[in-house]
Structure 1
Amino acid sequence: MKRSWRLSTLFDPTPVARSVSLKLSKVDKLGVIAGAGALPRKIVAACRESGRAFCVLAFEGSADSEMIRDVPIQWIKMSSLSAALDAARNEGVTELVLVGKIPRPSVLELIRDVRSAKFMAKVGTRMLGDDNILSAVVRELEEVEGFRVIAPETLLENLLSTAGTYGVVNPTSDDLADIKRGLNVVHQIGRLDIGQAAIVQNGFVIGVEAAEGTDRLVERCAEFVSQELPGGVLVKAAKPTQDRRIDLPAVGLSTVEHVVRAGLRGIAVETGGALIIDRPKMIRAADAAGIFLFGVSLKN
């Protein structure tokens, strides 16, 4: 899967946006801005279970229509984001959660939307990394558009990564050494706003994530994984300076499947710096395949 933003929206100031207070007296209605993957469906289910009012703004070509059936939904495009936000505001939405993956938009797509074009003119071409752009997007949504942006883990239990071994397979001392090296590598590429993952085996860095995304990273590195050497681990962590309400690295069943096919020993994630999608199913799949799932702090 190509590297993608978990959500991208670009807007500029309007009088009506400036008039929206961040502290409204009425009950907060949630706008779920949805891309691909299972997370939008889980957020919708959590809202229904808690009785919270919500609506879904789903990106055409990315969000799974089967996952968000029978919900109040508006299909949106990158070229018509302004109208989507105005519609959400008219529906009484005051909070937004950005979940799922969407393809990184082209400049041509963005300039079709007036607010998006003005936003791009404001931030300039200097902001080319996902983290820089998404952080600017959140500032626009909150400071200009008047919404509050919340993290998905505030709505779902057991979503954020925790410390230690998740299943029955534990990492060896060699695995832990690879994990430590992998975390250092991911931390450094994260500082440069490049990626959130690396693969390390026996101390050798086999590959780092860039624009292609984690699944493609594992696929292209599979041929370099030695079956004669021990170990081999996929390490994922948040970028050091990113806004952790959006675009945290995520792992799920697909990650396990790719890691198993590549012949790696396991998956390590930064404690509190990754989202664990379908945790019980992921753990069962990892246990069945004999690989480890492990949460580790950057301070370790």
Structure 2
Amino acid sequence: MAPKVGILAGGGDLPARLAAAVRGTGREVFIVAFEGQTDPAAVAGFPHLWSRFGAAGSIIARLKAEGVGDLVFAGPVRRPSFSELFPDWYTTKFLAKVGTRALGDDGLLRSVARELEGEGFRVVGLHEILGELLTPAGPVGRLAPDEAASRDIARGVEVARGLGALDVGQGCVVQQGIVLAVEAIEGTDAMLERCAGLRRAGGGGVLVKVKKPQQDRRLDLPTMGTTTVEKAASAGLAGIAVQAGGSLIVDRAAVGAAADRLGLFVVGIEVQE
């Protein structure tokens, strides 16, 4: 019998989508919901535990008691401050061991994954269960980038991969070859809101998101949905380019429809690893 799947739930509806998909395969599921991060609607109807990030010891004990074998990270998470963690002894030892002040999000997540594997869990990628969320190559919707946008995309890939190599962020906005904004701890939506007032005269502007060069594909792949499309449109951008096979699109049909309605292109691009 396949082991029970545990879901470490961030924000949005991805945790609920994943839980439903797991249950649809006949496997049992258990969700760890985090205070101030997880949407209560995402855990409704599924066995779950509410906890703070800093209670790692009790979380791990509960997962073992529930018979969880596989663990999946699902949904965006806002990185908490140390005071918000209120860490237990297990978490304190972990933080002292990895020295998180020197780690970006990817480095921290990889350290967490190694710790969980050391406790006997198998960490699996969300895309291994919901493979249909992986971004395909080519346009999602009716529109495609023109030559100017394609040049901005190429520049954006160069910049985003540089940011990723430093474990800073996964995306940037480029217009007419000029980098308007880069993504850091604020996340994609806040970056788009910030760059709206920075656009140059004339058209164009592209949001580019790619996975970090060293990124573990099981953890925190770049993700977008209809909200990203709406934010990009509000910022006056011409389109969005995300890495084919290295990012996730939540509800591809809805994203394509929203892009068509708002006059933006969304395209999956091949990125040389």
Question: TM-score, normalising length from structure 1?
Answer: 0.88
1:157 is the counterpart of 2:153? no
Matched to 1:43, the amino acid is: L
| Preserved contact between residue 248 and residue 275 of structure 1 (Cα < 8 Å) | yes
Deviation at 1:272? 1.5
1:245 is the counterpart of 2:218? yes
Matches within 5 A, 1:64-83: 64-83=39-58
Question: TM-score, normalising length from structure 2?
Answer: 0.96
Any gaps of 5 or more consecutive residues in structure 2? none
1:54 is the counterpart of 2:67? no
Deviation at 1:102? 2.4
Matches within 5 A, 1:193-272: 193-226=167-200, 228-272=201-245
Deviation at 1:125? 4.8
Matched to 2:191, the amino acid is: L
Aligned equivalent of 2:19, options 33, 39, 44 = 44
Quote the residue 1:130 is aligned against.
Answer: 105
Q: Distance in 2 between matches of 1:193 and 1:76?
A: 27
Per-residue CA deviations over 1:98-149 (Å, capped at 9, x if unaligned) read 111222122234462111111111112563211111111111111x211000
User: Taking structure 1 as reference, are residues 125 and 36 closer, same or farther at Cα in structure 2, changes over 3 Å only?
Assistant: closer
Quote the residue 2:114 is aligned against.
Answer: 139
Q: Which has the higher contact order (CA 8 A, sep 6+)?
A: 1
Q: Distance in 1 between matches of 2:268 and 2:71?
A: 28
| Preserved contact between residue 59 and residue 102 of structure 1 (Cα < 8 Å) | no
Q: Distance in 2 between matches of 1:92 and 1:247?
A: 25
Aligned equivalent of 1:101, options 76, 90, 108 = 76
SS in 2 for 1:134: helix
| Preserved contact between residue 110 and residue 117 of structure 1 (Cα < 8 Å) | no
C-alpha RMSD of the superposition: 1.4
Aligned equivalent of 2:250, options 277, 284, 289 = 277
Matches within 5 A, 1:78-93: 78-93=53-68
User: Taking structure 1 as reference, are residues 111 and 60 closer, same or farther at Cα in structure 2, changes over 3 Å only?
Assistant: closer
The runs of at least 4 aligned residues of structure 1 exceeding 3 Å deviation read: 108-111
